[in-house]
Amino acid sequence: MKILVIGSGGREHALVWKIAQSKKVKKIYCAPGNAGIAESAECVPLKADDILGLLDFAKKEEIDLTVVGPEVSLVAGIVDDFEKEGLKIFGPSREAAQLEASKMFAKLMMKKCGVPTADFVVCRSVHEVLSATKKFGLPVVLKADGLAAGKGVVICQTSGEVEETADRMLIEKVFGPAGHTVVVEECLEGEEASLLALTNGDEAVLLASSQDHKRVFDKDLGANTGGMGAYSPAPVVTEEILKFVMDKVILPIIKGLKKEGTPYRGILYAGIMITKSGPKVLEFNVRFGDPETQAVLVRLESDLVEALLWTLGKEKAPTLKWDSRPSVCVVVASGGYPGSYRKGKVIQGLDKAAKIKDAVVFHAGTKKSGEKALEYLTDGGRVLGVTALGENLKKAIDTAYKTVKTIKFDEMHFRCDIGWRALKN
């Protein structure tokens, strides 16, 4: 098969790495890819939101399966457009992708399907936000309805913060149309976990659980990021929680969407808060998580391509096999991320890192330099996802950090405590 992977981050490198292990695969393209991906796939200079360009490419190259990484392509309707042309593509339709693109859609859908989630009010004015805040008390969570590059969720501790955030979203319109509607939610307490399920619209199969680290600094301090590290499995996710999430979250949502005439195929990512009164959904994403995918896929023993293809058909759900060893992914970022940062720093030590047993370095924001393309340079906020397996979590963490230590670039930043919650458990 010829496979096209769309995207350019660590998640996509992990997808390409795993797809390359499939006996079904003859050739992999990645658009636009990065310097690490270029070692196992042919990179094509097309952006993830260039749907027409990607469609032309897939037709011309007779791609057998396209695997979409980022939500932008899905929300732009890439699956609808490819399917209209008879091309096989992994992911949900534009309408089903609203589960991530609109917090309001997701919350209303959860309510309709009886999926446990934080109590909420949909607001369109500052006045409505303030009265919803009275209902829930402080702290309270304000969410811009649309996609806001991970910056649309604000946990407000004071009424001053609520007013300021509501003003920014609804009056100053800092998120544009994405902030015309604001979902106000009760603030949940507990431990978070990411549960991802492959689904063909009727049945679902859960991937191994994982946990992300969203804050930029150790001890979960500092700004929210796309994710500074992950580990799998998340010990907080018991067998009982897995069953609960399948029966009370994943299956009701896919059944509900099917009933509405928008069947959901692809991967459904449920961000869960495990509260004292049971697991509740914080958010849905309609794609693989980043960096959760790096930690999860190094543990997958089954053929990923077969599992992805299953979502496009009607057969019985496959049983996925997992390496029993836990894994850890430490994100190595550019200093300053998630704020402004400099690119183009020379990355040293990747050759040494490549020799370490049970470790694999996924590239996120990297490119090759100069005519001879001998050096790797930083080219994004998150630069690498250093991922390792270990007999136990402590050993996986040790191997990941031993690998991180071989790598150097100017202003490099990483968290030193990835996995701390699981170790504590």
- In the block, which residue shows the tokens 């369109």? 124
x/- contact string, 207-246, with ligand GLY (CB under 6 A)?
-----x-------------xx-------------------
Compute the least distance from the CB of residue 246 to ligand GLY, in Å: 20
Chain center to CA of 28: 21
Compute the least distance from the CB of residue 192 to ligand AMP, in Å: 6
Q: How many CB atoms lie within 10 A of CB 392?
A: 11
CA distances from 391 to 301, 325, 388, 394, 411 (A): 16, 5, 10, 8, 32
Residue of 56, 18, 21, 23 lying closest to 31 (CA atoms): 56
Compute the least distance from the CB of residue 225 to ligand GLY, in Å: 9
Q: Which does 292 bind (CB under 5 to 8 A by kind): ligand GLY, ligand AMP, none?
A: ligand GLY
What does the block give as tokens for 209?
Answer: 């659980």
Map the footprint of ligand GLY across residues 268-287, applying CB under 6 A: 285
Strand segments (E) across 178-232: 182-186, 191-199, 204-206, 211-212, 215-217, 221-224, 229-232
Compute the least distance from the CB of residue 303 to ligand AMP, in Å: 31
Give the interface with ligand AMP as residue ranges (CB under 6 A). 118, 141, 143, 153, 155, 185, 187-188, 192, 214, 271, 282-283
Omega cis (within 30) before 139: yes
Compute the least distance from the CB of residue 153 to ligand GLY, in Å: 11
Q: Which does 289 bind (CB under 5 to 8 A by kind): ligand AMP, ligand GLY, none?
A: ligand GLY
289 forms part of the interface with ligand GLY (CB under 6 A): yes
Local structure of residue 203 (DSSP, 8 states): -
3 state DSSP class of 108:
helix
3 state DSSP class of 403:
helix
**What distance, in Å, lies between the first and last C-alpha atoms of the chain?**
43
149 or 374: whose CB is closer to ligand AMP? 149
Compute the least distance from the CB of residue 278 to ligand AMP, in Å: 14
Compute the least distance from the CB of residue 299 to ligand AMP, in Å: 22
CA distances from 349 to 74, 197, 352, 357 (A): 36, 36, 5, 15
142 or 364: whose CB is closer to ligand GLY? 364
Q: Which does 227 bind (CB under 5 to 8 A by kind): ligand AMP, ligand GLY, none?
A: ligand GLY
Q: Which does 285 bind (CB under 5 to 8 A by kind): ligand AMP, ligand GLY, none?
A: ligand GLY
Contact in structure between 41 and 30 (CB atoms under 8 Å)? yes
Of 182-190, 288-296, 313-321, 400-408: span binding ligand GLY (CB under 6 A):
288-296
List contacts with ligand GLY (CB under 6 A). 212, 226-227, 285, 289-290, 292
